Structure 1
Amino acid sequence: MKFTDGYWLMREGVAASFATWVADARVESDRLTLWGATDRRRGRGATLNSPLMTVECFSPAEGVIGVRSTHHGGLRDRGPHFGLTPEEGHEAKTRADGSTLELTSGPLSLRVDTEEPWRLDFLAEGRVLTSAGKRGTGFATSEGKHHSLTQLSLGVGELVYGLGERFTPFVKNGQTVDVWQADGGTASEQAYKNVPFYLTNRGYGVFVNHPGQVSYEIASEAVGKVQFSVEDQSVEYYVVYGPTPKEILERYTALTGRPALPPAWSFGLWLSTSFTTDYDEQTVNSFVNGMAEREIPLSVFHFDCFWMRAYQWCDFTWDPAVFPDPEGMLTRLKERGLRVTVWINPYIGQKSPLFEEGKRLGHLVHTAEGDVWQWDMWQAGMALVDFSSPEAREWYAEKLRALLRQGVDGFKTDFGERVPTDVVWADGSDPARMHNYYAQLYNETVFQVLKEERGEGEAVVFARSATTGGQQFPVHWGGDCESTFEAMAESLRGGLSLGLGGFGFWSHDIGGFEGVPTPAVFKRWVQFGLLSSHSRLHGSYSYRVPWEYDEEAVDVTRDFTRLKNRLAPYLLRAAEQAGERGTPMMRAMLLEFPDDPSAHTLDRQYMLGENLLVAPVFSEDGEVEYYVPEGDWTHLLTGERVSGPGWRRERYGFDSLPLLARPGSVIPFGAHDDGPEYDWADAVTLRVHAPKDGTEVVTRVPAPGDNEPAVFRTVRDGATLTVTAEGARGRWSVVLAGPDGYAEPVTVAAGANAVTLPV
């Protein structure tokens, strides 16, 4: 929200006050409390008739410093609050040196000089990262509303990223961003997944600890500042130091939660009935049979909305007109090796039998007058499940348990964004704060019942809405996009932006949701989709089976599905890293190449894991322009050597795209391409790419179940390369990439634990 009229004036109707000097300070062993006077005068006369800001400075974890600035502190705390986990045993340190006060947390410090004009400096490694100086700490009133605000400085060349899954330009400088859940598709400034956290290319991130609407002006109102404001009497934010983007995410997700590891089967290909299409068990079987006949491995079948009866979403009951034997159908699908997911949402239409039940039990959101809140948008007379109530959550979970016991394996948790603010919540939560936070309660409820019924490591949702902490409940998908190249690029921007908020797993509708893709769009989107963390064929009113487009689409789908299945050892390790450190599987180039300025603005390519560069093709004629960082890269599909740094413009047929292995990387290929579930270390093939002399590369291959992972160590010593194995099962192979492509594989016999090759 903008408060100023240019540099000098405030907007009409806006009155603002800012901390101008430190009127008093209290220094404790692990925190500072500052009182910021808003009157520019000093002396006793200045203490009358002017506000005083209370500014508390503290540290929840090493490398993280929090600031809470408050105008009036007497408001009742109604919640909700993000669930944060402070670092156990962590204690910050304070220091007073004359007028200089300092709070230090590991490598990060906050410094203030009580004799100078108001300024909070955040420092690391001897340099100032950002500051809250003039107009940096204050509040404003406009149209009877009170806003607490902060301005943090931006340096020359500093770029801002994140704030959730945003489809606007990847670099947020110059944008106004309102963190407020909305069902806005992928072609607007609105977002399904709003996360009040940004990071910059200067070594730090900033998290605003407020679940309600946070309004950002990013180098827009004040071009050298990031301003954020909330309609509240206080605002709390955390500066999170890196210095690298990966380290920023590691610290941020330690505080807000890290992703659970999705089950291995979820990394295979998903096929959906699509949204408004006509379908029954015969239709479903025709799709499954069609994929099998064309040798396209399928892992998951998804039933979208109309598995239930029209007007009755949600009643969690199979439509008997088209699915008279749901238990039998589910058994038959599972006998074919498929997992099954079904669509749900948190709304209860008036025609659903659950409406009267939920009303009677008090599990639906109410108005101030005590009536059930309703409207006709989406479902006729629909109400909203009150997830602020533990009893309502359990009631909803019981409906899902019945489906799981029928044979359903997971849920697509659609919607959760259009949450009213003129309602009363069971736990007394502030409706404005609950608007964004509702998605967290919704997805957590579903995820927990899956864990309880299916066990640890088997829970997976396919969620559209999320906020801070939602990364703990994967997977998330990009929402309603059009079926165009432009929408495909929008989707990628959104996914990369979301990943910079600690969301490790992300997907999108292959081919686009709205409309019908051209064969070219479908085939290029298939490549992109099967080089994403999760891969789902889904549309609105047309089917997304590849033979609906052309025979080449069948070939592309088959080849890239099988490629992804063979990459399972590599992808599952990247998935583990998301849970261990908060690093997403699909990574903006900035994450892997923070020291390369050319990588800082790239949003049409990404790293899949730490070692594979993917540049999707967004053109009808197959032309693609992409950037290659420094070193000798190898095209994974052709073995061609590609040297960087530099830009390349190339043309690709539908059987290929830029897919490059990082210099020095070792990419494990599994022995099976018919699905992602197998023993990934058994008969694994290691592709070794241009290792430097004297380097060692450690490749960890995860193991299913209780098996120990296999660990391979690759060392180059002059003209020889030695690979040693710990925990390899069965035979294994090594393939060297050279200037002329891949060499023939060298196979190591079962039980052998080392091989030496000439380079």
Structure 2
Amino acid sequence: MKFTNGFWRVRDGVHIAYAAEVRDVRIESKRFTAYAATQKVTRRGDTLNAPLLTVDCFSPAEGVIGVRVTHHAGRTRPGPEFDLAAGPGGAGTGEIRRDGTVTELTSGPLTLRLDRAAPWALTFHDADGRELTRAGRKGTAFATTDDGAHHVLAQLALGVGEQVYGLGERFTPFVKNGQTVDVWQADGGTSSEQAYKNIPFYLSSRGYGVFVNHPGRVSFEVGSESVGQVQFSVEDQTVEYHIVAGPSPKDVLTRYTALTGRPALPPAWSFGLWLTTSFTTDYDEPTVMSFVDGMAERGIPLSVFHFDCFWMREYQWCDFAWDPEVFPDPEGMLARLKARGLRVSAWINPYIAQKSPLFDEAAALGHLVRRPDGDVWQWDLWQAGMGLVDFTSPDARAWFRSKLKPLLEQGVDCFKTDFGERVPTDVVWHDGSDPQRMHNYYTHLYNRTVFELLEEERGAGEAVLFARSATAGGQQYPVHWGGDCWASFEAMAESLRGGLSLSLSGFGFWSHDIGGFEGTPDPAVFKRWLAFGLLSSHSRLHGSSSYRVPWEFGAEAVDVARRFTLLKHRLMPYLYGAASEAHHTGVPVMRPMVLEFPRDPACRPLDRQYMLGPDLLVAPVFGDDGQVEVYLPEGTWTHLLSGEQVTGPVWRTERHGYDSLPLYVREGAVLPLATDDQRPDGDWLDNPTLLVHPSATAEYTHEVSVPDLTGSPAARFRVRREGGLLRVTADGFDRPFTVRVAGGAHTDGTGEVTVPLR
């Protein structure tokens, strides 16, 4: 929200009070509270009839400093609150130091400094004493408006050239400078400023992050209202924000996800190719089996089959009952799919249509959200007369789970948890939550309810969703996909922007609808999207009104689907290692270039290429002519498919057929590859191949591991270059393995293998 009218004036109807000076500082063991007057106090009379802001400063975790600014503290806080690892507002760490008029709070490499003798300013410094950012002259304030609203706001300074990323899955420009961003869930597709996944967290190119600990609407002005500041405001009496230390972007994400939750590790089978019925297409069991048979006949391995909305009867979503006219034998059908080695996904959402028998049941039990007058909240947008399950009620959550459990018993393995954004604010929640704060948070309760059921019923490590909406902390319940996009190159590019933005918001796994959702893609769009989709963490063929089986788009599309599916399966030991890293550290599988190369200025704005794990650079092709621009940072890069070597830093314009794209391996990388290319969850320890891309350094050592299906290292290898020889030693692994040197020799063996370098 904008409060000012240019630099000098305030907007009509707005009244702002800025923190001006420190009147008192109270120190506790690991925190301090500052009291800020909103005007210069020159005599005792100035303390009358004037506000005083309470500013609490604390450290909830190592390398994180929280600031809570409060105007009036007496307002009740009905919730919800983000579930932070240290507890809301907890002071878990930090050291206080007072030196004359200066008070400092230090946590790990981060220090907050406040000088009582100077004009109001909170300054944040790194371990070297460099100022990262500050809440300066207008950085701490509250504002009232003539219509009775009360906002608390903060401004944090932007340095020269500083760039801002994140704030959720946003389809607007990747670098957020100059944008106004409202963190508010909306079902707006991928071609608007609205977003399904709104995260009040941003990451700075200067090596820190900012998390606004407020689950409701947070309005960000990113170098927009004030071009040298990031401003954020909430309609509340309090705003709390956390500065998260680096120094690297990876360090920031590691600390941020330690606070808000690390992503679960999805099962290996979920990394294979998913195929769906599409949305409004006609389908029944013969149609489904024709798709499954068609993929097998064409040599395209399929891992998951997904049933979209119309597996249930029309006007009855969700009653979780198979349409008996279309699927008269669901148990038998699911068993037949299982016999083909497939997992099964089913579409659900948190709405109960009035025609469904479950509507009356849920309403009578009090499991649907109600209006203030006690009526069940209903509307007709999506399903006629639908109500909304109240996930703030433990009984409602248990009831919802009880309706999903029979599907798991039938053979369903996972759920697509669609929707969760269209949440009303004119309602009363079971637990008394504030409707404004619950609007964004609802999706967290919805996805958690389903994910925890899958963990309980399928076991740890087997739970996976295909979720559309999320807020902070939602990364704990993967996987999330990019929502409704058009079947065009432009939508393909905006989908990637959204995914990269989400990855810098703490989400380790992300997917999208290969070929686009709305409309039918041109064969060129479909084939290019196939390569992109199968070089994403998760890969799903899905559409709205038309099928997405590859043969609908020609024989070449079949070849492309087969080529990249088999390639992904061979890459699985490498990809699952990156997935395990995301699970343990919060560093995502799909990484914007700035995350892997933060010191290279050329990487900071790049949003049409990414790193898949630490060592694979992917640049999707966004045109039917096959031409693509790609930037390769410093070092020697080897094209994984052609073997061509290129020395960076360099910009290249390349042209690729549909069976290729810029796919480069970083110098010094060792890629563990699977022998079995028919499934994503095969035996990766069955004669694995180590594809070595030697560093130019004459003497060096590199270690790499091959994970098992739990993500734990099952085989470790040490790669040593000794002049013209490459020695690879297995650590505790006595089975055969193969070493291939990019562009050179290969050797099979056990224990230790020596390969001559060219």
TM-score range, shorter chain: over 0.9
1:444 positional shift = 0.1
Q: How far apart, in 2, do the equivalents of 1:707 and 1:459 lie?
A: 17
Q: Is this contact kept in 2: 1:632–1:690, CA < 8 A?
A: no
Q: 1:746 aligns to what?
A: 747
Change (3 A) 1:727 1:303: farther
Q: 1:317 aligns to what?
A: 321
Q: How far apart, in 2, do the equivalents of 1:593 and 1:121 lie?
A: 27
Q: How far apart, in 2, do the equivalents of 1:305 and 1:123 lie?
A: 51
Aligned pairs (5 A) from 1:213-252: 213-252=217-256
Q: Is this contact kept in 1: 2:706–2:713, CA < 8 A?
A: no
Q: 1:584 aligns to what?
A: 588
Q: Amino acid of the residue matched to residue 144 of structure 2?
A: T
Q: How far apart, in 2, do the equivalents of 1:419 and 1:258 lie?
A: 26
Q: Amino acid of the residue matched to residue 732 of structure 1?
A: F
1:127 to 127, 130, 142: 130
**2:428 is paired with a residue of what secondary structure?**
coil
Q: Is this contact kept in 1: 2:530–2:561, CA < 8 A?
A: yes
**% identical equivalent positions:** 67
Q: How far apart, in 1, do the equivalents of 2:645 and 2:32 lie?
A: 56
1:745 positional shift = 2.4
Q: 1:299 aligns to what?
A: 303
Change (3 A) 1:745 1:426: same
1:709 positional shift = 1.1
Q: TM-score, normalised by structure 1?
A: 0.98
Q: How far apart, in 1, do the equivalents of 2:453 and 2:734 lie?
A: 35
Q: Is this contact kept in 1: 2:166–2:504, CA < 8 A?
A: yes
Q: Amino acid of the residue matched to residue 620 of structure 1?
A: D
Aligned pairs (5 A) from 1:292-441: 292-441=296-445
Q: How far apart, in 2, do the equivalents of 1:209 and 1:321 lie?
A: 49
1:549 to 547, 553, 558: 553
1:169 positional shift = 0.1
1:729 positional shift = 5.6
1:695 positional shift = 1.9
**CA offset digits 1:697-752 (Å, max 9, x no partner):** 11111013698611111111211111111243631111111xxxx23421114xx3
The reply to whether residue 49 of structure 1 matches residue 49 of structure 2 is yes
Q: How far apart, in 1, do the equivalents of 2:699 and 2:36 lie?
A: 57
Q: How far apart, in 1, do the equivalents of 2:654 and 2:410 lie?
A: 50
Q: How far apart, in 1, do the equivalents of 2:91 and 2:111 lie?
A: 18
**CA offset digits 1:582-638 (Å, max 9, x no partner):** 001000001100111110010000000000000000011000001000010000001
Q: 2:114 aligns to what?
A: 112
Q: How far apart, in 1, do the equivalents of 2:745 and 2:675 lie?
A: 16
Q: How far apart, in 2, do the equivalents of 1:665 and 1:309 lie?
A: 51
**2:263 is paired with a residue of what secondary structure?**
coil
Q: 2:19 aligns to what?
A: 19
Q: How far apart, in 1, do the equivalents of 2:91 and 2:209 lie?
A: 23
1:96 positional shift = 0.9
Moved more, 139-148 or 288-297: 139-148
Q: Is this contact kept in 2: 1:726–1:753, CA < 8 A?
A: no
Aligned pairs (5 A) from 1:479-518: 479-518=483-522
Q: How far apart, in 1, do the equivalents of 2:540 and 2:745 lie?
A: 34
Q: Amino acid of the residue matched to residue 152 of structure 2?
A: S
Aligned residues: 753
**CA offset digits 1:658-692 (Å, max 9, x no partner):** 00000110011100110101121221111111323
Aligned pairs (5 A) from 1:473-622: 473-622=477-626
Moved more, 36-45 or 281-290: 36-45
The reply to whether residue 10 of structure 1 matches residue 27 of structure 2 is no
Q: Amino acid of the residue matched to residue 53 of structure 2?
A: M
Q: Is this contact kept in 1: 2:267–2:709, CA < 8 A?
A: no
1:19 positional shift = 0.5
Q: How far apart, in 2, do the equivalents of 1:539 and 1:105 lie?
A: 49
Q: How far apart, in 2, do the equivalents of 1:91 and 1:555 lie?
A: 56
Q: Is this contact kept in 2: 1:587–1:606, CA < 8 A?
A: yes
Q: How far apart, in 1, do the equivalents of 2:651 and 2:46 lie?
A: 60
Q: How far apart, in 2, do the equivalents of 1:48 and 1:682 lie?
A: 78
Q: Amino acid of the residue matched to residue 134 of structure 1?
A: R
Q: How far apart, in 1, do the equivalents of 2:225 and 2:711 lie?
A: 55
1:661 to 643, 648, 665: 665
1:424 positional shift = 0.1
Q: 2:754 aligns to what?
A: 755
Q: 1:723 aligns to what?
A: 728
Q: Is this contact kept in 2: 1:19–1:135, CA < 8 A?
A: yes
Q: Is this contact kept in 1: 2:727–2:752, CA < 8 A?
A: no
Q: How far apart, in 2, do the equivalents of 1:42 and 1:694 lie?
A: 69
1:100 to 99, 102, 108: 102
Q: Amino acid of the residue matched to residue 41 of structure 2?
A: R
Q: How far apart, in 2, do the equivalents of 1:716 and 1:44 lie?
A: 75
**1:429 is paired with a residue of what secondary structure?**
coil
**1:46 is paired with a residue of what secondary structure?**
helix
**2:376 is paired with a residue of what secondary structure?**
coil
Q: How far apart, in 1, do the equivalents of 2:705 and 2:305 lie?
A: 31
2:181 to 163, 177, 191: 177
**CA offset digits 1:214-249 (Å, max 9, x no partner):** 000000000000000000000000000100000000
**2:315 is paired with a residue of what secondary structure?**
coil
1:648 to 640, 647, 652: 652
**2:699 is paired with a residue of what secondary structure?**
coil
Q: 1:699 aligns to what?
A: 704
Q: How far apart, in 2, do the equivalents of 1:622 and 1:708 lie?
A: 39
Q: How far apart, in 2, do the equivalents of 1:15 and 1:400 lie?
A: 51
Moved more, 215-224 or 714-723: 714-723
Moved more, 535-544 or 136-145: 136-145
1:40 positional shift = 2.3
1:17 positional shift = 0.4
Over aligned residue pairs, what C-alpha RMSD do you find? Answer: 1.2
Q: Amino acid of the residue matched to residue 484 of structure 1?
A: S
Q: 2:36 aligns to what?
A: 36
Q: Is this contact kept in 2: 1:682–1:729, CA < 8 A?
A: no
Change (3 A) 1:559 1:230: same
Q: How far apart, in 2, do the equivalents of 1:193 and 1:502 lie?
A: 11
Moved more, 462-471 or 701-710: 701-710
Q: TM-score, normalised by structure 2?
A: 0.98
Q: Amino acid of the residue matched to residue 66 of structure 1?
A: G
**2:283 is paired with a residue of what secondary structure?**
coil
Moved more, 405-414 or 697-706: 697-706
Q: Amino acid of the residue matched to residue 27 of structure 2?
A: V
Change (3 A) 1:727 1:332: farther
**1:39 is paired with a residue of what secondary structure?**
coil
What 5-or-longer segments of structure 2 have no aligned partner? Answer: none
Q: How far apart, in 1, do the equivalents of 2:449 and 2:100 lie?
A: 52
**CA offset digits 1:333-374 (Å, max 9, x no partner):** 000000000000000000011100000100000000001000
Q: Amino acid of the residue matched to residue 743 of structure 1?
A: G
Q: How far apart, in 2, do the equivalents of 1:526 and 1:603 lie?
A: 18
Q: Is this contact kept in 2: 1:681–1:728, CA < 8 A?
A: no
**2:81 is paired with a residue of what secondary structure?**
coil
2:476 to 472, 475, 498: 472
Q: 2:71 aligns to what?
A: 71
**CA offset digits 1:477-521 (Å, max 9, x no partner):** 000000000000000000000000110000000000001100000
Q: Amino acid of the residue matched to residue 59 of structure 1?
A: S
Q: How far apart, in 1, do the equivalents of 2:39 and 2:655 lie?
A: 64
Q: How far apart, in 2, do the equivalents of 1:356 and 1:744 lie?
A: 70
Q: How far apart, in 1, do the equivalents of 2:329 and 2:732 lie?
A: 46
